Amino acid sequence: MKNTGGFFSFFTQHSAKWLFWAPFFLALLWALANAPVMQTLWRHGFDDGTYSHGYLIPFIFIYLLIVMAKTGQLSARTGNHIPALVSAVLLVFAYFVALASQISLLVWVLSLALLANAYWMVFRFSWGMAYSVAFLLFMYPLWGSLQTALQQLSVFAVMNIMAYSGIPTYVEGTSVMIPAGTFVIAGGCSGLRYFLVSLAIGSLFVFLNLRRKSAIVKFLALAIIGALITNWIRIVALIVIGHESNMQSELMRDHNNFGWYIYAPFVVLLFWFGERLAKKEPVDPMTECKRSETDAFTSSAKKTMPAAVVLILVSSSALHLNLFSQSTNVADECQDVSVLGDAAPLLPYEARTCVKSVPVNGARVDTLLVWYNGDDLDGKPTQYQVRYFPEEWQVVRKDTQAGWNVVTAMEGQNIHKFAWRFVVDGEKTASVVEMKKLRLKKALKGVRGSALEWMHVECGSQCQSIGASWLEVEKDAF
């Protein structure tokens, strides 16, 4: 990579240091003001799997700010920029609606857009600044939509590679069956983690070192294709090891780190190739910021920084969620969810609950109301970690009846029926998509609370006699 040394001594020598500290301060204020959003990133990212690289992203972002300050890529505005002010108003409104409707993906994207807009108020647009802010997307857990496509691609590649292995192999769905056992190419085996890491380090190398289009295409192509092939090699190697060890190898139980041992040599090769491309780049010495330019920034910042600070404070998710949180009362006669035993739904985030039992045709119907006040972005009945019935039980049937999602499941020889639907401001739906539309519509009216109505009956041989009548008890129970 190109020489970017002497940063800190450079900042202590003259006022160019403000070209770094101004965007750094705005980013820090943005993170603190949007603590609830940062909390969701911590919950669903920064893990030991797909987003384990997330810990490095903030530090690389700071490094990018230093690079731009050092090389004169930050050009201060001399006054407030009207387009930036207009977009700020629109973004604040959209952000409030996204928070109120608890649509996590929209909240994450808009939160980053607000930081970018704050920078746009203080600095003239540059591709360097745009890339630096966009780089933060690599720590956001919003890349899951690529998982299914990468998973299917891995299945196809592994199936074709195994055809040359000499090991009898049968592939059905995402399962790869060999005489020694069965391997499931689950979502975690899609290679998304290697894909993201390669895309992150590849784009970073391009930003810092490459300018020619042909070199950029070659380097990024190698980074992405190499990451995919690395994952395919990892899966095939595990299958071969399982075959040779008759599924007794320790790697059959714990193979999380195995892929990184294969990926690391590829990264060395990738950077070796990148350095060869960089040597062919035209000489582009890093330009030092002129003292007059940085002195001008300190005076112009007095006009533009206050507006950027106000934007971040006004758009604070912590402020919005606290000002507009709602509460509800739970009746004294309610029982705790624990009385439902193994049939209870999985509710990972805090909510108010009320359990009642109602007799129907000789069977006991358990009714549950789960109410969320909307002060937690993950506190909603459609959150992906919510489980409406024990998924380890054998599912006999799934359908929709009378506006409810209904599942018939077996626990051993016992037959259970589960039903659930979603509620926003009195309007009820069984559809997750319709639920999101309802939250958006109600958010414009300042309504943020939502609820889950859930029922369960262990019916045994009485299932037919109960029919759909058990779905009517909710009028008296809730």
Predicted local distance difference test score (pLDDT) of residue 320? 75
The predicted-structure confidence for 125-180, as pLDDT tens digits, reads as follows 989 999 999 999 999 988 888 888 999 999 999 999 998 888 888 888 888 888 88
Predicted local distance difference test score (pLDDT) of residue 243? 86
Residue 412 confidence class, pLDDT cut points 50, 70, 90: confident
Both 314 and 352 in one domain: the answer is: no
pLDDT of 467 strictly over 70: no
Predicted local distance difference test score (pLDDT) of residue 464? 63
pTM score, two decimals? Answer: 0.83
Domain membership flag for residue 180: no
The predicted-structure confidence for 322-360, as pLDDT tens digits, reads as follows 666 665 555 556 777 878 888 899 999 888 888 988 877
- Cα gap 214→218, rounded to integer Å: 6
Both 281 and 360 in one domain: the answer is: no
Domain membership flag for residue 429: yes
Domain membership flag for residue 179: no
% of residues, the chain, pLDDT over 90? 40
Both 358 and 294 in one domain: the answer is: no
Both 243 and 293 in one domain: the answer is: yes
The predicted-structure confidence for 9-49, as pLDDT tens digits, reads as follows 555 544 567 788 889 999 999 999 999 999 988 888 776 56
CB contact at 8 A, 452 and 441: no
For 300, phi then psi, to 5°, come to -70, -30
Domain membership flag for residue 257: yes
Residue 472 confidence class, pLDDT cut points 50, 70, 90: confident
Both 376 and 229 in one domain: the answer is: no
Both 88 and 124 in one domain: the answer is: yes
DSSP state of 34: T
Domain ranges, residue 385:
337-477
Tokens representing 452? Answer: 């889950």
Both 99 and 54 in one domain: the answer is: yes
Predicted local distance difference test score (pLDDT) of residue 321? 74
Tokens representing 113? Answer: 């857009």
CB contact at 8 A, 465 and 352: no
- Cα gap 267→279, rounded to integer Å: 18
Residues in CB range of 122: below 8 A, 6 or more apart: 22, 23, 26, 76, 77, 301, 304, 305, 308
Number of domains the chain is built from: 2
Tokens representing 140? Answer: 């956001």
Predicted local distance difference test score (pLDDT) of residue 468? 63
The predicted-structure confidence for 291-316, as pLDDT tens digits, reads as follows 445 555 666 777 788 999 999 999 88
Tokens representing 37? Answer: 């959003």
- Cα gap 306→83, rounded to integer Å: 16
Both 207 and 311 in one domain: the answer is: yes
CB contact at 8 A, 310 and 118: no
CB-CB neighbours of 156 under 10 Å: 12
The predicted-structure confidence for 174-231, as pLDDT tens digits, reads as follows 888 888 888 888 877 888 999 999 999 999 999 999 989 999 999 999 999 999 999 9
Predicted local distance difference test score (pLDDT) of residue 290? 45
Residue 469 confidence class, pLDDT cut points 50, 70, 90: low
Domain membership flag for residue 81: yes
Domain membership flag for residue 310: yes
Domain membership flag for residue 173: no
DSSP output for 6-29 = -HHHHHHHSGGGHHHHHHHHHHHH
The H or E element that residue 223 is part of is helix 213-244
- Cα gap 109→250, rounded to integer Å: 41
Residue 163 burial (10 A CB sphere; 0-12, 13-18, 19+): exposed
Q: What SS3 state is found at 264? A: helix
The predicted-structure confidence for 80-117, as pLDDT tens digits, reads as follows 889 999 999 999 999 988 888 888 899 999 999 999 99
Both 288 and 225 in one domain: the answer is: yes
- Cα gap 65→205, rounded to integer Å: 15
Last residue of one domain, picked from the residues 275, 299, 322: 322
Both 41 and 136 in one domain: the answer is: yes
Short-list 147, 152, 142, 200, CA closest to 174: 152
Both 105 and 253 in one domain: the answer is: yes
Tokens representing 36? Answer: 């609830």
Predicted local distance difference test score (pLDDT) of residue 203? 95
pLDDT, the chain, mean? 84
Short-list 336, 335, 342, CA closest to 456: 342
Residue 235 burial (10 A CB sphere; 0-12, 13-18, 19+): buried
Both 312 and 353 in one domain: the answer is: no
Domain membership flag for residue 1: no
Short-list 29, 93, 86, 136, CA closest to 320: 93
Average pLDDT over residues 383-396: 89
List of E strands, 129-233: 170-172, 175-178, 181-184
- Cα gap 160→183, rounded to integer Å: 15
Residue indicated by tokens 């958010």: 443
Residue indicated by tokens 């002497």: 6
Residue 243 burial (10 A CB sphere; 0-12, 13-18, 19+): buried
